[in-house]
Amino acid sequence: MTRVIVGLGANLGDPVAALRGALAGLRAADGVEVVAASHLYVTAPVGPPQPDYLNAAVALETVLAPLDLLALLHALEAAARRVRVRGVRFGPRTLDLDILLWDGAAIDLPGLVVPHPRLVERRFALEPLVEIAPDATLPDGTPLAGVCAALPDQGVERLVERLDATMCCSHGEGRSRTAEG
Ligand code: A4P
Ligand code: MG
């Protein structure tokens, strides 16, 4: 079994439904066990002007090979009717699923680079990751909690709601903002 962290993002359509649908899809998949899910985060967009994102992260145990997990993530994106706009990098999307970490491994395959190449620059990916995996490191041993803490404010706000709606929030946990805004 391999411990993997997947980042989830959406900023078109119904982002809460898209992220929770992806969680359900991961839970239903063969060879994948979801072991942790973060809160939901509202995040300012990185890239061209577009709506705010909803981001989250999940920790998985999997027996799948890296490219097989990537294929599963692409299938879940397709199920959310994601349309990639040709030529628009970092553009808006109904669902984006990225493999952020693969145990302590570095992967460099055609179509898959892990750790995700821009992970260390992005609070929208690091804050939910560090929430569910506070001891996570880069393959060279660099603690990601420290990387995240050193980044400037990027407009990332943790909501009261969790990605997993069946998990209860304790009173006073998180911030008072809700997924409805
Ligand atoms: N790919 C390579 N490595 C990976 C990996 N570790 N995980 C390949 C997933 N995919 C990986 O991705 C293009 C190709 O990257 C995939 O086919 C896969 O083979 P894509 O999702 O089609 O294109 P993209 O998402 O536009 O490009 P990219 O480079 O993945 O963008 P990012 O880095 O994912 O950024 N702002 C906020 N606040 N929150 C966000 O979630 N997301 C993005 C997308 C931009 N701004 C954002 C957010
Ligand atoms: Mg992506």
Residue-level pLDDT at 101: 98
- Over 70: is that where the pLDDT of 161 sits? yes
82 is known as an active-site residue: yes
Residue-level pLDDT at 88: 65
Please name the helix (run of DSSP H) or strand (run of DSSP E) that holds residue 128, with its range, or none: helix 123-132
- Among 55, 70, 88, which residue has the most ligand 1 atoms within 8 Å of its CB, making it the best to mutate? 70
CA of 89 to the centre of ligand 2 (A): 10
Transcribe 65-93 into DSSP letters.
Answer: -HHHHHHHHHHHHHHTT--PPTT-TT---
CA of 7 to the centre of ligand 1 (A): 10
pTM of whole model > 0.75? yes
Mean pLDDT (whole number) for 6-24: 94
Write out pLDDT tens, residues 126-139.
Answer: 999 999 999 999 99
- Of 20, 82, 123, 162, which one is the catalytic site residue? 82
- Do residues 128 and 41 touch, judged by C-beta distance below 8 A? yes
Residue-level pLDDT at 167: 72
Write out pLDDT tens, residues 95-153.
Answer: 999 999 999 999 999 999 999 999 999 999 999 999 999 999 999 999 999 999 999 99
Vertex 47: Cα angle to 97 and 76 (nearest 5): 15
